[in-house]
């Protein structure tokens, strides 16, 4: 049932630490630094240029204010 799944996600995102949620779905929680377990806004990340692989988009990496680099989008 879709509404039950949505309610479960709402419950999780309002009670679980962001770092733990980011481990379960890094694409959904790309704004959370996996090293610090803190959420940063788009202005706080130092976002690199999109990386290409044989002419196709591969990923975009960024560095959080504490200096940790991670893939933000892939």
Give residue 26's domain range. Answer: 2-73
Q: What is the mean pLDDT of each successive set of 10 residues along the chain, which is 74 residues long?
A: 80 84 78 88 92 95 95 88
3-state secondary structure the chain: CHHHHHHHHHHHHHHCCHHHHHHHCCCCCCCECCCCCCECCCCCCEECCCEEECCEEEEEEEECCCCCEEEEEC
pTM of the model as a whole = 0.71
What was the pLDDT predicted at 1?
62
């Amino acid at each position: 049932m879709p509404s039950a799944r949505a309610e479960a996600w709402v419950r999780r995102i309002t009670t679980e630490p962001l770092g733990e949620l980011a481990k379960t779905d890094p694409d959904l929680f790309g704004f959370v630094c996996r090293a610090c377990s803190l959420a940063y806004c788009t202005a706080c990340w130092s976002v690199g240029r999109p990386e290409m692989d044989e002419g196709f988009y591969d990923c975009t990496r960024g560095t959080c204010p504490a200096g940790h680099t991670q893939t933000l989008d892939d």
